Copies of this chain bind each other. A is one copy, B any other.
Amino acid sequence: MTTFYRQPVHVARGEGVWLWDTDGRRYLDCYNNVPHVGHCHPRVVEAIAGQAATLNTHTRYVHDAILDYGEALTAKFDHDLDSMVMVCSGSEANDVALRMAQAVTGKTGIIGTDNTYHGNTTAVSQLNSSKTPIGGYLDHVRQVPAPDNMQPVGGSCAGQVEAFAKGVEQAIAELEASGHGVSTLIVCPYFANEGFPTLERGFLDRAIAAVRKAGGLIIADEVQPGFGRIGSHWWGHEKLGFAPDIVTLGKPMGNGHPVAAVVTRPDILTAFQEQFKYFNTFGGNPVSAAAAMAVLQVIEDENLVQNAADVGAYAVDLLRQVQVQHDVIADVRGSGLFFGAELWQDGAPATELCAEMVDAMRERGVLLHSVGRHENTLKVRPPCVFSRANADQLAETLDAAMRAVT
């Protein structure tokens, strides 16, 4: 695997928002969304340890934990999304979701954005833009220009809604002309890998209407924005204001335990199972279900959605104060505990500078990373127990690192 940072961090221990390396040095973790409720949260650890000591087996038997979790999770969704399949990773979830759309529509065409990542399986990696898949892109996949704040589709933020929809409409026309038809538009409703542009509510409405008119379904990949991270809502699609047919979940779901899920309507799940007879050995095993249930309960009990909203707004405000001091910070944006700063220099995306900043922050004990088409946006996406004091440290360190690097 490629490690982060020029000097990789040799990690030893984690707690809350903190990571320690093997030399005992402490780092403020501003990046990891997997430990959603904090590294090594005792309630999640207890749930895993307790269930692992009691029973862990596949789901060819009946077990209460998966049923209880399914009910608790789907209660967080509207739009008749009350059925769930548990899997092991967000990649597996998206791999299943794409097939669900194909099973329901009888068509194969898939539309995604041209600057995204939905996972690592052969099928899902067809959607990824960082590397051309082995064997090349398949003809039934179309990538449309991704929304962006600094370089909006169509040239202006005002015209981006229409320009994005036109991209989708063109992809639909191509897929219909080629005989594939449209099975789905899959998007992260926060456009996380695209650089989380600030988008108005209803941004996707016209594009979604075009997909639906063509008979396609909408998949919301909530792996990054989901579980309350964005503060304003539990799910990214609620913030953007649309009704997905299928939702995929991953990374934060088990606080690090390999568990993920697809949530959908019962008719879609039935159509998929009739076509596919899907089974996943580890998916929804009692330990995975217990870990996921503990995460859900901690989010509620510790008011972490509210915390994400409060601390996120506070942190963005701090970063805007830092922005005033540094011309290279072209934009500060985000929602809840998913925010960042886009860097430009001499009228162009400051990719090199951003990489230097990532290392300069690491040297100063703050872990974050970059994102976006040009990797010129500092990405902050910490455990949701991140506090105002943590935000203070982040902003102060950012200011100091910026002074050292520029």
The minimal Cβ–Cβ distance linking A128 to chain B, given in whole angstroms, is 9
* Bound form: Cα–Cα A134–B96 in Å: 11
Q: Give chain A interface residues in 163-194, CB to chain B under 8 Å.
A: none
The stretch of A208-216, A228-236, A276-284, A386-394 in contact with B is: A276-284
A63 engages B11 (CB within 8 Å): yes
Contact B135 A122 (CB under 8 A): no
Known: A88-B92, A134-B276, A279-B2. A54 touches B14 (CB 8 A): yes
Q: Give every chain B residue within 8 A of A324 (Cβ-Cβ).
A: none
Interface flag for A59 (CB, 8 Å): yes
Whether B55 pairs with A89 at a CB distance below 8 angstroms is: no
B-chain residues with CB within 8 Å of residue A49 when the two chains form the complex: 45, 48-49, 52-53
Tell me if A321 is interfacial: C-beta within 8 Å of chain B. no
Map CB proximity to B onto A117-131 as digits: 1 under 8 Å, 0 otherwise.
000111111000011
**Binding stretch for chain B, among A145-153, A255-263, A298-306:** A255-263
Binary interface profile of A, 73-109, with partner B (CB < 8 Å = 1, else 0)?
A: 0000000000000001111100100110011000010
Q: Which residue of B lies closest to A11 (CB)?
A: B61
A120 adjacent to B40 (CB under 8 Å): no
- Of residues 234 through 278 on chain A, the ones whose CB sits less than 8 Å from some CB of chain B are 250-251, 255-259, 275-278
Report chain B residues within 8 Å CB of A42.
Answer: 53
- The answer on a CB contact under 8 Å between A281 and B90 is yes
Q: Kindly state whether residue A62 has any CB partner on chain B within 8 Å.
A: yes
Give the residues from 9 to 30 in chain A that come closer than 8 angstroms, CB to CB, to chain B: 9-14, 19, 22
**Interface assignment of A142: CB less than 8 Å from any CB of chain B:** no
Q: Which residues of B contact A287 (CB under 8 A)?
A: 256-257
Residues on B with C-beta less than 8 A from A3 are 59-62
Q: A39-B57, A281-B251 are in contact. Are A62 and B10 (CB under 8 A)?
A: yes
**Residues of chain B contacted by A133 (CB below 8 angstroms):** 276
Q: Across the interface, do A61 and B279 meet the contact criterion of CB distance under 8 Å?
A: no
When the two chains form the complex, which single residue of B2, B11, B88, B90 contacts A55, counting CB atoms closer than 8 Å? B11
1/0 contact string of A284-327 vs chain B (CB within 8 Å): 11011000000000000000000000000000000000000000
CB distance from A84 to the nearest CB of B (A): 11
**Residue picked from A3, A58, A130, most chain B C-beta under 10 Å:** A58
- In the bound complex, residues from chain B placing their C-beta under 8 Å from that of A95 are 121-122
* Residue interface bits A33-51, CB-to-B below 8 A is 1, else 0: 0110001101011001100
Evaluate contact between B135 and A102: CB separation under 8 angstroms. yes
A1 at the interface (CB under 8 A from B): yes
Distance in Å from the Cβ of A115 to the closest Cβ of chain B?
A: 15
| A56 interface residue (CB < 8 Å to B) | yes
Chain B residues whose C-beta falls within 8 Å of the C-beta of A40 in the assembled complex: 52-56
User: In this assembly, does A8 line the interface, its C-beta being within 8 Å of a C-beta of chain B?
Assistant: yes
**Distance between A290 CB and nearest chain B CB, rounded to angstroms:** 12
Which of B57, B103, B258 interacts with A288 by CB under 8 Å? B258
Q: What residue in chain B is nearest A85 (Cβ atoms)? A: B1
Chain B CB count within 10 A is highest, among A14, A44, A120, for A120
Given contacts A3-B60, A102-B135, contact A45 B52 (CB under 8 A): yes
Name A282's contact: one of B10, B14, B124, B258 (CB within 8 Å). Answer: B258
Let me know if A160 is at the binding interface, CB within 8 A.
no
Given contacts A1-B278, A4-B60, A89-B92, 19 further A-B contacts (CB under 8 A): A1-B280, A9-B61, A10-B61, A10-B63, A11-B55, A12-B55, A13-B54, A14-B54, A19-B55, A48-B49, A48-B52, A49-B49, A88-B88, A89-B89, A102-B135, A125-B276, A130-B277, A257-B282, A258-B258
4 closest Cβ pairs, A-B complex: A49-B49, A122-B123, A56-B256, A258-B282
